[in-house]
Amino acid sequence: MRHVHGRAWRAGAALAALLTWTGLLAGAAGCTSDSTGLGGVFGKPPAPEEAIRISPGDGDKAVRPGRKLSVRVPEGHLESVRVVKSQDASETPVPGRISADGRRWEPDDPRLALAARYTVDAVALDGRGRRSARHAAFRTYVPEERFIGYVGPEHRSTVGTGMIVSLEFSREITDRAAVERAVRVSAEPAVDIRPHWFGRDRLDFRPRYYWKPGTEVTVDLRLRDVEGAPGVYGLQHKKVSFTVGRHQVSVVDAAEKTMKVRRDGALLATVPVTAGAAKTPTYNGKMVITEMLDVTRMNSRTVGFGGEYDIPDVPHAVRLTGSGTFLHGNYWAPGDVFGRTNVSHGCVGLRDVKGGGADTPAGWFFDRSLVGDVVEVVRSKDKKVAPDNGLGGWNTSWAKWRAGSAVR
């Protein structure tokens, strides 16, 4: 009995000592709770904003696109990170990855979208195995000024082999390199395609030589949120694609007053024409068809010739330059001028009838042409057409064309 009582007493004394020791620790550390259930024995866990640090911060507004989105932990490792971008009434997960050491998450694309709300949900384990979770949200800057690029040719069109991809911007671009990097033009089969700037509002792309028939070309505009000028950001993220058709080049000899039409190297026809008169000659050089109109009005006042003519129903009008050079049907001139006399105000005229005839030279050529076909004028008593007048870029050497890029 005395032996048993002694053992019980020693056990009770040990339990009392343990409780006293634990109480002293509790009194020193204060009232705490953690995943171990031992009160404050292992210290107080850090606040969520310290355990998981998110930038930009929770509640931030008007965050500029130059800020970097990141999630990091000072110790331990991230278990999961989910980021969602809400923009234009749609939600999109933001792809990213956790670093090899588990300390940082960053998005695959470092650029923040404008006019968007981002939400971040992250879970991490600290160095002592304690789990923390954090939710944060911020909004990005909403710009007052935007720009877009108008693309030619049209989406899903079939064009001639001389087509030049041309973008005209709605605002002047001062950071041309940034905008140029945001536009990608690719082809299948692949070919070297280079950009060239004309001023601050136009960017053209072409290969060294004419496209091969059957080539598929894709223009990928990634202009959204690109700062093209101070405080002016792009609005578009779209793709335009087109197919290159057969190869047709027509050569107008202004001295002979003829046009030879060749397709895939074979001569289709030699057509009599009337080119620009001595005082109003036609430009020399390679010009690309950019527009085809069954009928259009031509008024001399719109091209700086005063009131010399105003024809309301010019048939089979094929635009060659932005300044107003057309290859078109002509029903008002005597039939004997075609192939004999140059009488136009700079255009190239083909015989036609009022209302446009399908079986006339003008109707024949119109029906066999595509936007993107090349019409080259030779032996005219005028200068060569400027490379930015319409799609005149084929008149520029490859070396000079490449030098027109803003990206070095």
DSSP string, 166-214: EEEESS--S-HHHHHHTEEEEEES---EEEEEETTTEEEEEESSPPPTT
Which strand (E) or helix (H) includes residue 402? helix 398-403
31 is catalytic: no
CA distances, 158 to each of 248, 348, 392 (Å): 13, 24, 20
Query: What would the two tokens of residue 260 be?
Result: 């030879």
Task: Render 295-337 in DSSP notation, one character per residue.
Answer: EEEEEGGGGT-TTS-EEEEEEEEEE--TTS-EEEEESSS-GGG
Confirm if 330 and 353 have CB atoms less than 8 A apart.
Answer: no
Q: Which of 247, 316, 345, 347 is catalytic?
A: 347
Q: Which residues pair with 328 in a beta bridge?
A: 349
Q: What angle do CA 324, 325, 326 make, to 5 degrees?
A: 110
What single string gives the DSSP state of each residue in 248-272?
Answer: EEEEEETTTTEEEEEETTEEEEEEE
| Buried/exposed code over 356-377 (b: 16+ C-beta within 10 A; e: otherwise) | bbeebbbbbbbeebbbbbbbbb
Q: Is the dihedral of CA 292, 294, 297, 299 positive or negative?
A: positive
Whether 233 and 114 have beta carbons less than 8 Å apart is answered as: yes
Instruction: To the nearest 10°, report the CA torsion of 149, 151, 156, 158.
Output: -170
C-alpha 151/C-alpha 110 separation (Å) is 27
Annotated catalytic residue: which of 196, 247, 316, 328? 328
Tell me which amino acid residue 249 is: V
User: Residues with catalytic annotation?
Assistant: 328, 347
